[in-house]
Every structure is written in structure tokens, then in C-alpha cells.
Structure 1
Amino acid sequence: MTGAIDSDDAVRALDARLRAHAAAADEIHDPIEFATAPAASPQFAAAVRGVARLERCTIPRLRRMLVSPTHLDARLTAFFSTWAYERYWIADRLDQLGAAYAAGDTAAAAESGGGVDRAAVRRDRRERVWLLGTAITTNLVGTPMVAVHVLQCLVDEWVLDEVYSALAGEVPDARSAELIEDIRRVKAEHAEILRLAFTLRRPAQGAGLRLVGAALRRISWPAEAGLGPMHIGALRRLVAGDTASLSRITERINALGLGEHRVALLAPRRSTVLRIRRVK
């Protein structure tokens, strides 16, 4: 049994947001044009390309959800289809933006993967095998996995909101600022839909609620993107640049009814930037 599932108001609110989101799905695919060629900014380019990699890693996550009980939820399946579509085109536009500011930066271009990404190929092969175990395990767990998957996506969106906020403070020109603002508008809608969905799907008590809480503490960010040291460093700089950003993420997480937690910034040598810890 899931918490608040009988709330007609919550269901209507989620349905209304889903309909509005589907009707306004972002379809801007045109190349980014600048009035004048932007000056190279390797730091900004690395940050933008790192975020693009995060947006592009949606498909592995979607695969796992589609072999789990989450795919039985019609509302969420409809939303995640549009969510993946929009994140793909967000990544495409960020790649264009990163390329514009990385002119002549061969190190950034190399890390962004101009050729065959052999590490990505290996990850994809492992993913195909791992999906078999994921399908069995998640279907044995049952409906609490729906809340787990929504929670993982929601936390990712909240962290990315802080990253985009930091990017907005670094944009070198008005055209880039406009692009980042458009992306933030789409991402804010994603986060609100996921928050409403989690409110409906969160188990009210018992083993299901404990499972969701444990899943929260297993979240590491960034995940699944296969980022190199340059991009990890850029993302760490964006997250750590505003000392209040971790507090804002923590407040949002603690409002979910899963107990008191805090978002921890890990040591620079780690490939993981953030982890979520329980406050004892």
C-alpha cells in the first residue's frame, strides 16, 4: 500500500501537470546560433559538457525502470517517455554550447569522446547482463520499487537544478543565458511532476518505507554517466561553489517524509561528488 494513494486532489494535480507537460514538450532542435563567435572558455565548456553527459545517461536508467514494476504505472510510463525525449535534446543543445566554448581546447574535446567510447561500450555490455538480475529482483520487491525509481530521478533533478543555477551565474553571453534559462524551465517541470508522483507512490509504513529510505542513502551523484576527471572536477566546482546549495537539496529531501538526512560533499579524489547520509 502506498502513502496518499487515495488522495483525489493529489491524483488530479499530477494528472494536470502531466497533461500540461505533454502538451508543451520541448521540441527546439535547431542549431544554436551566435551573433559573433564566442571566445573560448575551457572551464565553462567542461562544465557544460559534463552536464550534457548526465542528461544523456537517461536511457540506462529508463531500461531498468521498464523491466521493473514501474512500467505498470501508466502515468509514470507516459511521463518517462517524454522525460527521456526532452533530456536527450537538452543534452544535444548542451553539447553544441560546450563545443562553441571549447574551440581549440583539445583536452576537453578528447574527454568528451570524439571517437568510439570504449568504456561506454563495456558499460553497455555489463548493463545488458545486469538487467536480467534487475528484472527479477525488482519484480520480487514489487510496488515499492516505483517509489524508489521516482525518488532516484527526483534527487537527480534537484541536484541538477543547483548545477544549472551555478551555470547560469557563469554564462559568458546573453544567448547562452537564454539557453540555460530555457533548460531550467523544462527541468523545473520535471522535478515538480516527480515530486507529485513520489507523494502518491511513497509507502506509508513498514518494509516498503524502509526500502525507499535505504535506496535514498544508496544514491550517489553523479551516477551512470561515465564521466572523466575533467568533467567530475567541473561538476564538483559547480555544486560546491554555493555553500547553500547542499542545504537546499537537504531541505527538499527531508520534506519527503523519509527521516532526517544530509547531503555530503565527498573528497575531491572520488569519482562520486555527493552522497546522502542519515542524520543520527
Structure 2
Amino acid sequence: MTSRTFDVRAYASAPDDLRPADLDLTALADLPRPVLHTLAHVWSTERTLLDLMRDLLVTPTHAEARVTAFLTTWAYEQYWIGQSLRAVLDAGGAAPEDLADPPDTSFGRLRRAWDERARPTVDAIGTNLLGTDVVAAHMSVGWLSTAVMDLAYRRLGQLEPRLQDLTAAVGVVKARHLEFYADEAQARLEASAGARRRALRTVRRWTWPGVRYAGPTAVRPAVVHLLADPSARQGVHAVDRGVASLPGLAGAAPLRSALGQFLR
């Protein structure tokens, strides 16, 4: 297996904890409604970190010391990103409906019940039978999801210049997350054909954050605001190229595939 270059010990000893006090919140009053709505979607997505932790802790990934050490610090950094986003939403004049998660569809309610009651047990059995190949898939999807969020922040900064201090600070945090995921995915995918097959299936099933329970209709305004402009196309292609550059994932274009559901 290829040796890792990411220094987990150094990362864990010096987290980037972006705090609301680090931001000039007074300069963010009266943000435009589309910006607030999109920022609220990003905030909602960042708060799903506990769901991700739950999913990982019932799989062989939880037994990987490097991954567990990383995720402990990652969760801390994610918490403060969420707190800073909420402070910006409050300062920007977000309405109560902006701060509420979109309601589940009928099918979404069934999915949520499955995820909360049965899925952890089913995944624990299935993934433990598959073994460490699952870890490679988690690292690949971790890179993909982080790259998509990084793109969302960069687009927010381009669309609303007053958010550039926030988005630049979050970008510093996300850069280290991307480095870790790429490091782990590269090594694990190179080492196992089974891991490559599993990761390819997993990234191809990836969907845009927030659509699993609420459906694409509720999330579409935020996605359109972020990525409908032709200037966003280069960033979308860059994310897909990053995924496709990982061993065994050539030809995958998960972000463009996920965006297709908003066109139907």
C-alpha cells in the first residue's frame, strides 16, 4: 500500500476552529434573500456531520486509527463552521423559514425511518463482511462531498463579495480535509481491486446533499443559485476530474450526474 503523506498528528494538534468572533458580522447585514436561502442550505448540510459519524462508526472504518483521529478533529472543525454559518445567517437577516430544514417528502419520511432504525444494523453487518474495502469507498466519497462543499463556498464568495472572508476561511479548513481524504483514498484504492470496485459503485450513487429526505424540488433553488451560471461549469468539471483521477474511478462524473436530477 502506498505510504501516506498527510500528518494526522499535526492536524489533530492544531485544528482550524473558525469562530463567529473571527468574522465582521456587522458588514453582513441585509444579505439578499437568494444568498440567505443558499447559505441556509449549506449550513443545513454542514450540520449533517453527526449522521456521517453515525454511518462510519458501525463500519470497519471506525477501527482505523488514522481515520478515527482525523474524524475527531474534523467533527470539531465542522461544529465551528456550523456555528459561524448560523451567526452569519442571523446577522444577515435570515427569516425563520430560512433556518428550518425543508420538510421530508412522503418517500423521504420512509427513508428517514429506515436510516434511523434499520440501516445502521444492516450496514454494520454488510460492511463488516466486506472488510476494509469499505474504508476506501468512505474516503473517496468523503473527498467528493468535501470538494462539492468547497465549490459551494467558493461560489458563494463570488456571488456575494461580503461573504469572501467567511468562504476563504472555510476554504482553508476544507483544504486540509481534502488532502486527508485524497491521501487515504489513493493508498487504499491502489492496494485493492475490491476497494476500487466498491468505491466506484459508491461514488456513482452519490447524490446532492439534502435531497435524500426532502427531494430535489426543495433543494433546487439553492443549487440553481450556486451552479446555474455558466461560470460555475469549470468548478463542476474540476470536482468530477478530481474523483476520476483516483485509482479505479476513471470515467466517474458523480457531480454532473447528481445535478441531472434538478433538470428533470
Could you say which TM-score interval applies, normalised by the shorter chain? Answer: 0.7 to 0.9
Measured after TM superposition, the shift of residue 260 of structure 1 is: 1.6
Name the CA distance, whole Å, in 1 between partners of 2:97 and 2:57. Answer: 33
- Between 1:228-237 and 1:93-102, the stretch displaced more is 228-237
- Which residue number corresponds to residue 151 of structure 2? 162
Deviation at 1:138, TM superposition (A): 0.5
Alpha-carbon RMSD across the aligned residues, in angstroms, is 2.8
8 Å CA contact retained: 1:48, 1:95: no
Amino acid at match of 1:216: V
Quote the offset at 1:54 in angstroms: 0.9
- Per-residue Cα deviation, 1:10-36 (whole angstroms, up to 9, x for no partner): 32x12x2x2232222123434555345
- The whole-number CA distance in structure 2 between the counterparts of 1:36 and 1:203 is 48
Equivalent residue in structure 1 for 2:119, among 116, 130, 141: 130
Distance 1:261 1:36, change over 3 A: closer
- How far has the Cα of 1:233 moved from its partner? 1.6
Identify the match of residue 75 of structure 2 among 81, 84, 91: 84
Q: Is the 8 A contact 2:31 2:93 kept in 1?
A: yes
2:208 counterpart residue number: 221
Structure 1 residues 95 and 30: CA distance shift in structure 2, 3 A: closer
Structure 1 gaps of 5+ residues are 271-280
The residue identity in structure 1 corresponding to 2:88 is L
| Normalised TM-score (structure 2) | 0.84
Name which of structure 1's ranges 260-269 and 225-234 shifts more when overlaid on structure 2: 225-234
Question: 1-side partners of 2:10 and 2:109: how far apart?
Answer: 37
TM-score (norm 1): 0.80
Separation of aligned partners in 2, 1:225 and 1:85: 25
> What amino acid maps onto 2:177 in structure 1?
H
Matched, 1:149 2:138: yes
SS in 1 for 2:120: helix
CA distance in 2, matches of 1:37, 1:252: 33
Mapped partners of 2:118, 2:261: distance in 1: 32
* 1:182 corresponds to which of 162, 169, 172: 169
Q: Please state if 1:62 is matched with 2:49.
A: no
Letter in 2 for 1:196: D
Tell me how far 1:125 sits from its aligned partner. Answer: 7.2
1:225 and 1:21 mapped to 2: Cα distance? 32
Are residue 252 (structure 1) and residue 239 (structure 2) matched?
Answer: no
Residues 54, 225 of structure 1: alpha-carbon distance in 2 compared, 3 angstrom cutoff: farther
Deviation at 1:251, TM superposition (A): 1.4
**Structure 2 unmatched ranges of 5 or more:** none
Percent identical residues: 27
Cα contact 1:147–1:201 (8 A) shared by 2: yes
Give 1:79 deviation, angstroms: 0.3
- 8 Å CA contact retained: 1:46, 1:98: no
**Map of 2:99 onto structure 1:** 112
Deviation at 1:269, TM superposition (A): 6.0
Structure having the higher strand fraction is 1
Letter of the aligned partner of 1:144 in structure 2?
D
Q: 1:121 to 1:88 in 2, by over 3 A?
A: farther
Answer yes or no: is the 8 Å Cα contact 1:147–1:203 preserved in 2.
no
The residue type equivalent to 2:223 in the other structure is L
Equivalent in the alignment of 1:191? 178
- The aligned counterpart of 2:233 is 243
Contact 2:60 2:128 in 1 (8 A): yes
Residue 34 (structure 2) aligns with: 43
How far is the alpha carbon of 1:83 from its aligned partner? 1.0
Contact 2:18 2:81 in 1 (8 A): no
- Structure 2 counterpart of 1:208: 195
2:246 is paired with a residue of what secondary structure?
A: coil
Code of the aligned partner of 2:63: L
